[in-house]
């Protein structure tokens, strides 16, 4: 007897779940218990689809508490479904995808995150296509019958991207996301064409382990020309901070003025972990290529290599959330945990 795919949709909010009120014309979240009424094409998939509807929030308000709720929903239903589709606002989607990739250790089922630029109730919506394609990817299997995707991924318009490699690139275009330093997991055209060499496969099958304690004591600092010592000192000495993602120029470069390097070294020596991530959308940090980057490394700053800022900040939150010491966090940060970095 042919297996009927069982997919769980988790709705957190965002544009995709909005529909126009017939009377007021205002956009409001639609009731996902009537999903088929709003997206009748789903019936053609012949899947068993259930849904969990959180209280909808703007994705700008998404953070560790919301990530914990999503992770728990997946863990509690893990054995009952073949795959999971998370509907999410686009603004912080890449952060959520990155966070979940760390929180859901030993994941061997698809967690496909999608959303839309236009509400699903709009005539020209991209939401309907994104939702249906996400469901198809969540149900897809290889020739062994195993899930084709066994990781957290973002599906948007024509591409499936690794979640912890993705960044929102456009506020206006339907192809809003891209992974600049890792190839697409699948390209969507007349069919869904998986890039099997790019897909992550666990080395061994182990039970799903969920780590939901994400430490908030981390910040991102963007360098810019003309930054004063007073401003930098104030930021680096923010009370309660354990880790900093320092977004630098080019291949990981920063000012070489003595006061700047002194502030950085003092911060590292105080036990705060600083990670060097480039502001560029392509490429990564090459600490030894230029003197300015080399001096940061000599101050104890850790290379983020080609990680996205979203992956770097959530990885720090995850590692500190495990209760690790700063030195242990620094050591673990340099390890590829779930495909987030090229080493």
Among 15, 96, 212, 248, which one carries the catalytic annotation?
Answer: 15
DSSP 274-340: EEEEESSSSS---TTTSHHHHHHHHTTPEE-TT--HHHHHHHHHHHHHTT--HHHHHHHHTS-SSS-
DSSP structural state of residue 91: T
Tokens coding 4:
């009927």
Distance CA 226, CA 320 (A): 32
User: Would residue 92 show up in a list of annotated catalytic residues for this protein?
Assistant: no
Do residues 88 and 56 touch, judged by C-beta distance below 8 A?
no
Nearest to 338 by CA among 105, 108, 116: 105
Whole-angstrom distance, CA of residue 36 vs CA of residue 53: 15
Give dist(CA 19, CA 31) in Å, integer.
Answer: 10
Instruction: Note the Cα 242 to chain centre separation in Å.
Output: 21
* DSSP code for 100: H
CA 149 – CA 162 distance, rounded (Å): 10
SS3 342: coil
| 302: nearest Cα among 325, 324, 272, 322 | 272
Known catalytic residues are 15
């Amino acid at each position: 007897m042919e297996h009927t795919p069982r997919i769980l949709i988790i709705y957190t909010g965002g544009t995709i779940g909005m529909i126009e009120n017939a009377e007021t014309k205002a956009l409001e979240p639609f009731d996902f218990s009537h999903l088929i009424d709003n997206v009748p094409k789903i019936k053609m998939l012949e899947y068993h689809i259930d849904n969990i509807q959180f209280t909808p929030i703007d994705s700008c308000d998404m953070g560790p508490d919301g990530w914990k709720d999503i992770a728990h929903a997946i863990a509690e239903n893990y054995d009952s479904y073949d795959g999971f589709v998370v509907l999410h606002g686009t603004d912080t989607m890449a952060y959520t995808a990155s966070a979940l990739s760390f929180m859901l250790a030993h994941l061997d089922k698809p967690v496909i995150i999608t959303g839309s630029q236009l509400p699903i109730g709009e005539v020209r919506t991209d939401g309907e296509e994104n939702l249906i394609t996400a469901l198809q990817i969540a149900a897809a299997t290889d020739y062994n019958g195993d899930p084709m995707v066994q990781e957290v991924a973002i599906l948007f318009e024509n591409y499936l991207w690794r979640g912890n490699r993705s960044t929102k690139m456009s506020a206006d275009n339907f192809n809003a996301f891209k992974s600049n330093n890792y190839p697409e997991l699948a390209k969507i055209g007349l069919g869904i064409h998986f890039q099997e060499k790019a897909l992550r496969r666990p080395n061994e099958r182990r039970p799903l382990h969920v780590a939901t304690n994400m430490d908030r004591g981390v910040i991102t600092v963007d360098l810019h020309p003309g930054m004063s010592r007073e401003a930098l000192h104030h930021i680096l000495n923010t009370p309660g901070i354990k880790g900093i993602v320092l977004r630098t120029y080019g291949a990981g470069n920063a000012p070489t003025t003595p006061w700047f390097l002194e502030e950085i070294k003092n911060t590292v020596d105080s036990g705060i972990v600083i990670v060097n991530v480039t502001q560029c959308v392509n490429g990564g940090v090459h600490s030894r290529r230029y003197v300015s980057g080399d001096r940061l490394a000599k101050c104890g700053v850790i290379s983020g290599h080609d990680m996205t800022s979203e992956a770097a900040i959530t990885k720090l939150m995850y590692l500190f959330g495990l209760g690790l010491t700063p030195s242990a966090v620094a050591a673990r940060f340099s390890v590829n945990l779930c495909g987030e970095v090229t080493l």
